[in-house]
Chain A
């Protein structure tokens, strides 16, 4: 995993709540056995019309959001299926940070496993980011994400701290993977296995 660095990125809005992983990556693409190649299928049913023609009504298809790296969305983002194909698709689409008032548990775990930072903010801050990224006055609304200091800022006065699990923060900042970290505890695992009373 790439270490997560402070950056300033274009924000794209998805003003819906309960966006489930079936919407993020529909099932017909789950048959692939690779980890890559999902980006072009992200939000497939919303994003394309018949014949894979981009749907002009789908907000992320608007040229102003081309190259966005931060997605702001309604509450309970990533509910439903445990498919990790959802964060794979979002990452390949270009999103490194997701902002919402809440995320579904499994999806959130899956994001961390792939170097995506899900940020939970209060509804006032999410509305601020959402409305500015939607606003016609803001051609390219950018937000700066500083994980080290756990803060998101913009040029319009936003300056908001966010919480993150210390373990997850360290993994993201250093680009560590969980298996590597657990392997360091190999001795504990072996002891546990040995001590486990044979149950019957």
Chain B
């Protein structure tokens, strides 16, 4: 066997700045994304230590976490306002490109990177945000870092890293009709557990992945971190190149062929080796709903809330009992019997144009249940404008959804969009942690289609039984 390399190996090896025995590697970073929440202390330290930004052109910033999704011009929370102003000042001082609130390119950092073509195969990408794994859908090595590392990248354009292990998650067969990429990734996390990918860069392969759109691949890679994975990645192919062609930061048509050849060289070689393999039978996957307080506490829509005693391990029993209590559920109740108060269609997991289209298809001509308050928060202004062009906003509004401006919104509730204690939400986001969407709030993670259907019915319902 001569030198078979995976996508991960190829990117790692081509970004090695320095390597010495027993030490972690120093790797070069091609793209550094920045948002308002995890960067202020990094810039402040640069100033304190009289350091500069080494390559300002390789850092791009946007404002997403704090922004209100209505009346955006007037941010009433003074601390949020200050954080946003601090990012503006920092970007100006250090000469960094910022997509500000009124930019038509503003949006959630992991939505705008790909749609502007900043994210390109073969790159190393970091951001002070755990869902940076999203960008791996394009055949990049992309992962979240802390604020000290943000500072490190700003100052040196490199990162000190130990090489993670490599895991292959192979999907055998296509996903059945009515089953989405979100269901696939929730099923994967249910299988490997919330720490199953710890210390690993995960490459997703196989039929279901190859036949998946870029939006779907981003959803899968996005949630890699919820399974503990350091990075999620997918070898690039025609679907990748087609998505990227013509995007703002992609070289124009004349050179595009050459660029594609370069990107193509990063694909994993066939028969290259991984440290571990997880196989998924795609055909057996159903629409999924989380019942607990981490994304691994998940089951099929046709299933039941588990009985803690179903678990063998005593730690799992305790965790399940605690989660069921927090969630206000009963063991053995049917998932379809869980009634909801709110629906949140948004976040860097599922607020891209395709997600909105799928949800709109479900609700078209139907009305949101009287007991449900539902909202759509597009992932970016580009998504919002595109959706409006297609008339999706009208479909949502007619059925009773609120139609908002782009941002993270109720994914983490740093802006005014939050759950009140006890409220139960069907959410297309990625974390159902205690209090994530508001103290005492109860989050069930689902696909956009399942969230839309739940909005109509007022409770979870199996999308496969719907005539669309």
**Centre residue among B130, B144, B230, B262 by max chain A CB count within 10 A:** B130
The interface residues of chain B lying within 8 Å CB-to-CB of A185 are: 17-18, 26, 158
In the complex, whether B367 has a CB less than 8 A from a CB of chain A is no
In the complex, whether B151 has a CB less than 8 A from a CB of chain A is yes
B144 touches A106 (CB 8 A): yes
B198 touches A84 (CB 8 A): no
The smallest beta-carbon distance between A141 and chain B, in angstroms, is 22
Contacting B at CB under 8 A, from A179-200, are 179, 181-183, 185, 188-189, 192-193, 196, 199-200
The smallest beta-carbon distance between A2 and chain B, in angstroms, is 15
The interface residues of chain B lying within 8 Å CB-to-CB of A165 are: 24, 162
The interface residues of chain B lying within 8 Å CB-to-CB of A167 are: 22-24, 160
Contacting B at CB under 8 A, from A53-85, are 74-76, 79-84
A23 touches B434 (CB 8 A): yes
A22 touches B262 (CB 8 A): no
Partner of A105, one of B23, B26, B228: B228
A200 touches B77 (CB 8 A): no
The interface residues of chain A lying within 8 Å CB-to-CB of B82 are: 31, 33
The interface residues of chain A lying within 8 Å CB-to-CB of B369 are: none
The interface residues of chain B lying within 8 Å CB-to-CB of A26 are: 435, 439
The smallest beta-carbon distance between B165 and chain A, in angstroms, is 11
The interface residues of chain B lying within 8 Å CB-to-CB of A80 are: 130, 225, 431, 433
The interface residues of chain B lying within 8 Å CB-to-CB of A79 are: 194-195, 228, 294
Interface size on B, residues (CB 8 A): 68
Chain B residue at minimum C-beta to C-beta distance from A79: B194
In the complex, whether A139 has a CB less than 8 A from a CB of chain B is no
The interface residues of chain B lying within 8 Å CB-to-CB of A109 are: 145-146, 149
The interface residues of chain A lying within 8 Å CB-to-CB of B143 are: 106
The interface residues of chain B lying within 8 Å CB-to-CB of A30 are: 37, 65, 414
In the complex, whether B152 has a CB less than 8 A from a CB of chain A is yes
The interface residues of chain A lying within 8 Å CB-to-CB of B151 are: 179
B433 touches A189 (CB 8 A): no
B147 touches A84 (CB 8 A): yes
The smallest beta-carbon distance between B136 and chain A, in angstroms, is 15
In the complex, whether A173 has a CB less than 8 A from a CB of chain B is no
Contacts known (A166-B22, A179-B152, A179-B155); A34 close to B433, Cβ less than 8 A:
no
A33 touches B40 (CB 8 A): yes
Bound-state CA distance A185–B27 (Å) is 12
Chain A residue at minimum C-beta to C-beta distance from B126: A82
Bound-state CA distance A192–B13 (Å) is 12
Chain A residue at minimum C-beta to C-beta distance from B24: A167
Contact with A along B9-45 (1 / 0, CB 8 A): 0000000011000111010100000000110110011
In the complex, whether A110 has a CB less than 8 A from a CB of chain B is yes
In the complex, whether B395 has a CB less than 8 A from a CB of chain A is no
In the complex, whether A149 has a CB less than 8 A from a CB of chain B is no
A75 touches B157 (CB 8 A): no
Partner of B152, one of A20, A33, A182: A182
In the complex, whether A45 has a CB less than 8 A from a CB of chain B is yes
A18 touches B37 (CB 8 A): no
Bound-state CA distance A87–B41 (Å) is 14
A84 touches B146 (CB 8 A): yes
In the complex, whether B255 has a CB less than 8 A from a CB of chain A is yes
Taking A31-B83, A80-B130 as given, write out 8 further A-B residue pairs in contact, using a Cβ cutoff of 8 Å, ordered by the A residue number. Answer: A22-B434, A23-B434, A30-B37, A35-B45, A45-B434, A82-B38, A82-B130, A106-B143
Query: Which A residues contact B (CB, under 8 angstroms)?
Result: 16-18, 20, 22-23, 26-28, 30-35, 45, 74-76, 79-84, 87, 102, 104-106, 109-110, 113-114, 165-167, 177-179, 181-183, 185, 188-189, 192-193, 196, 199-200
A–B complex contacts, Cβ < 8 Å, 30 sampled: A16-B319, A20-B294, A20-B433, A22-B412, A23-B434, A26-B435, A27-B436, A30-B37, A30-B65, A30-B414, A31-B80, A31-B414, A33-B44, A33-B82, A34-B41, A34-B44, A81-B412, A82-B128, A82-B145, A83-B146, A102-B198, A104-B198, A109-B149, A113-B148, A166-B22, A167-B160, A178-B148, A179-B152, A185-B158, A189-B28
Query: Which B residues contact A (CB, under 8 angstroms)?
Result: 17-18, 22-24, 26, 28, 37-38, 40-41, 44-45, 49, 51, 54, 65-66, 77, 79-80, 82-83, 86, 128-130, 143-149, 151-152, 155-158, 160, 162, 164, 194-195, 198-199, 225, 228, 230, 251, 255, 258-259, 262, 294, 315, 319, 322, 412-414, 431, 433-436, 439
